[in-house]
Amino acid sequence: MTGMLISLVMVTSAAGTGVDEAREAGRKVWMVVNAIQKHHIDSPDPEILWRTIVHSICTPDELKDPEPLIAQFVKTRTANECGDLLARRFEEGKPSHGPLSQLQEKLLKPLEKQLGPMSIQRAKDHTVNEQIRNNRYVGLGVTMPIHDSKYPMFGSILPGGSAERGGLVPGTIVTKVDGRSTYDVPQETLLDWVRGPIGTQVTLTVADRAGQPEREVTLTRDVVRTDSVLRYGRDSIKFGISHPANPTIGWLKISAITASTLHELRVIDGLARQRGIRALVLEFSGGSREGDFHQAKLVADGLLESSPIWISHERNAPPRLEVADDECLFRGIPLVILVSQWTTGDQAAIAAALQDAGRATIVGESPDFRGEVFTGVAIDQETMLQMKTTQIQRARSDRNWPLTTDIPPISRAELAAEQKAINTYLQFLGTAKNPPVSALFPANVRHHPIHWENRIEETALNTALKLSTESSTP
């Protein structure tokens, strides 16, 4: 999470020095407290919030009886009033904004014990996350993996992006962005240079490989779309939707829940019917850290028929029961959902909704999602505060978080023991004289090392096969 955080020093650095900084810090703190008050689902009384803040700026004398100072902060009705309060303290030579300049450490950290994780995020990073969640990321269509060289390198070039149109290839070294040297520049800064509004241009100085002559290329920032639903093995669904081992079992890897996921599933619904898919495995394997619960609701709705999805609790709003409409995708096709520790909250919520409705069998490792939804709330034009705004309650009142899978995976310890036994057996065969071929490859011995992931996949596949047989039995 730390990558997304910045201290208040950065936020207020433009405000000047001394009294101006104090005033700006006061305004910012007030807006944070106000945002928590308005949106955090477990927000305590404002006095408790101010008490934490006051403790970080009290003089030793004030610390003996901080109540008058707390009362002063509680009374502030606007950000400016709070800013003036800190500015006055600064002028009086009392501790003001110093400790507060580290908002994350001094204010949010102590509160996290009771309010859960909170973080300050730059609005521009929030915008990028939002673009990704809505599958309309604006950029050049490249990935920039971290590597050893002091110059950045483009890892992959996404199809349809402006980098591809500009003729860039994977492995391209970037030496300048708009004339600025990229040598040893932190990745976050590089991303800021490369990203920008749709339709704007960026000029890169690039070499196709290290040691090759440099050239300039001007690219236009454009929407880069990526599929959130892939087939088995991370391939595009244009190569098919079946598991390689069995054409009647569909296997979809849901790499994220985005605004396009429902649309993608609708397209696949038609393909599944055309191709005679008899059971479908949905591999929920990651996505946005924040998750998109609006889109998760639409996807769950798309997969369910007239069932309750979940109940969402928000601050200052009555609990809301979400119910699926009468139409559902993959009607008549049994669903298996494969979950793991990589499954994100929005995906886990969908899996739970489908489990509660009896629509899907959940296989794998229980994801660590507790029904807590974190949302970015704007503090000002440049800053967002990420906090818990919604608690999702499961549709079935007798079930809670974390989601318990219907078929848990073999434990890693069991698997290790199994592998050890096989190794010992293979060693024994290796020392035996002229072992028969059938002894070398008995049916119950795997010829490759047993991977835990492979074993879970195998369980999901077998579950799907079993369900497909049951559903086709009259």
Partner 1 sequence: MNCKCWLMMIGIQVVVQTTVLAGDVTTPHWRRPVALVITDEGRHLITANQQSGSLSLLDARLMSVQSESSIGKRLSDLVVSPVDNNLLLTTDEESHELLAVRRQDEKFAVIKRLDLSPYPVTVRMTADGSRACIASLWSRTITVVDIARWLESKAPESSVISAVRLPFAPRELLMIDEAHKLIVADAFGSKLAVVKLAEGSSDQSHLESVREILGHGIRKMSRHPTLPRVVMTHQILSRGARSSLDDVHWGNLMVNCLRSLALDDLLDPKANISRRTQLEFLGGPDRGAGDPAGFVIRPRGGIAIALSGTNELLMDDGSRSFGIRLPTGERPTAVVLGTDEFRTYILNTLSDSITVAGLRDIVGTISLGSHPELTSAERGERLFHSAKLSHEGWFSCASCHTDGHTNGLLNDNFTDGTFDTPKRVLTLRGVADTAPYAWNGRFETLREQIQHSIRSTMQGEPLSDQQTDDLETYLRTLSPAPPPPAVNSAEARGLAERGAALFEKLDCARCHKGPTYTSAHVVDVDLADERGDSKYNPPSLRGLSQQNSFFHDARATSLEEVFTKYQHQTGTALTAEQVKELVAFLSRL
For partner 1, the binding residues (CB under 8 A) are 134-136, 259-260, 262-263, 266-267, 269-270, 273-274, 294-295, 297-298, 301, 305, 316-318, 320, 322, 325-327, 331
Nearer to partner 1, 27 or 126 (CB): 126
- Residues with Cβ < 8 Å from 127, sequence gap 6 or more? none
Nearer to partner 1, 60 or 318 (CB): 318
Q: Closest approach of Cβ 353 to partner 1, in Å?
A: 13
Nearer to partner 1, 138 or 259 (CB): 259
- Secondary-structure breakdown of the chain: helix, strand, coil percentages, each rounded to the nearest 5: 40, 20, 40
Q: Closest approach of Cβ 248 to partner 1, in Å?
A: 19
Crossing angle of helices 293-303/345-356, nearest 10°?
A: 30
Q: How many Cα neighbours within 13 Å face the side chain of 371?
A: 19
Nearer to partner 1, 119 or 307 (CB): 307
H-helix or E-strand spanning residue 74: helix 67-75
Q: Closest approach of Cβ 307 to partner 1, in Å?
A: 13
Nearer to partner 1, 129 or 135 (CB): 135
Q: Closest approach of Cβ 326 to partner 1, in Å?
A: 5
Angstrom distance (rounded) from CA 6 to CA 102:
9
Q: Closest approach of Cβ 3 to partner 1, in Å?
A: 25
Nearer to partner 1, 43 or 119 (CB): 43
- CB burial of 455-466 (b: ≥16 within 10 Å; e: otherwise) equals bbbebbbebbbe
Nearer to partner 1, 97 or 278 (CB): 278
Nearer to partner 1, 160 or 170 (CB): 160
Q: Closest approach of Cβ 314 to partner 1, in Å?
A: 9
Tokens of 450: 């047993």
**DSSP, res 379:** S
Q: Closest approach of Cβ 262 to partner 1, in Å?
A: 6
Angstrom distance (rounded) from CA 316 to CA 390:
11
Q: Closest approach of Cβ 259 to partner 1, in Å?
A: 4
Nearer to partner 1, 68 or 474 (CB): 474
**Whole-number Cα distances in Å, 213 to 25, 121, 207:** 49, 39, 6
Q: Closest approach of Cβ 182 to partner 1, in Å?
A: 32
Q: Terminus-to-terminus CA distance in the chain, angstroms?
A: 52
Beta strands in 29-149 (DSSP E): 119-122, 137-139
Judge residue 246's burial from the number of C-beta atoms within 10 Å of its C-beta, 0-12 exposed, 13-18 middle, 19 or more buried: middle
Neighbour count for residue 10 (Cβ, 10 Å): 14
Angstrom distance (rounded) from CA 387 to CA 126:
13
The strand pairing partners of 311, in sequence order, are 321, 393
Q: Closest approach of Cβ 280 to partner 1, in Å?
A: 17
Using an 8 Å Cβ cutoff, are 29 and 56 in contact?
no
Tokens of 142: 């490249």
Nearer to partner 1, 262 or 392 (CB): 262
